[in-house]
Chain A
Amino acid sequence: ETGVTQTPRHLVMGMTNKKSLKCEQHLGHNAMYWYKQSAKKPLELMFVYNFKEQTENNSVPSRFSPECPNSSHLFLHLHTLQPEDSALYLCASSKQGSDTEAFFGQGTRLTVV
């Protein structure tokens, strides 16, 4: 266990559904991240939150909407997704500062039908 917990582990949703992914860490970290992992591609950084403030949005479509209510919780709200959005969504956290290791959750395997 890395100390980063993601729910649900698996999610199947239709293109008209609205769902949310949840991430929680109690490691005392102050930065949290959403990554997308697709087959045969490197991890893609989607969003970065430092001290609850969004500091990076890597040109992610608006159908993905992050929320960070506090430094321990991170959500990814999903609506009107496309089949190509099917992937493993990984949450990570780290201490702010240089040379920082990211601690990853187990991921949510999302399938859009």
Chain B
Amino acid sequence: AQRVTQPEKLLSVFKGAPVELKCNYSYSGSPELFWYVQYSRQRLQLLLRHISRESIKGFTADLNKGETSFHLKKPFAQEEDSAMYYCALRTGRRALTFGSGTRLQVQP
């Protein structure tokens, strides 16, 4: 069965510092990987997906199949980045398997 692991429950950084939110997965097939974000009082929404290889709000994530990782990175954190971040994996069944989430706190 597939599994997504986010080892950090909380990551606290200062504004302008680099950010890396870790995500590792286990899945025997070809994974589709996503990062979803939930800002305070808002619904869960897509941040980025590995197939598009794009940068959203300064965030990037590279799929490393050798290390089975999909870490989310941003070179300079902003206060508005404070939110709950979920790494998710999708299989052929189309439903998402979520990691436990990491709360990012960006302090001024």
Are A and B part of the same complex? no
Interface residues of B (CB under 8 A from A): none
Interface residues of A (CB under 8 A from B): none
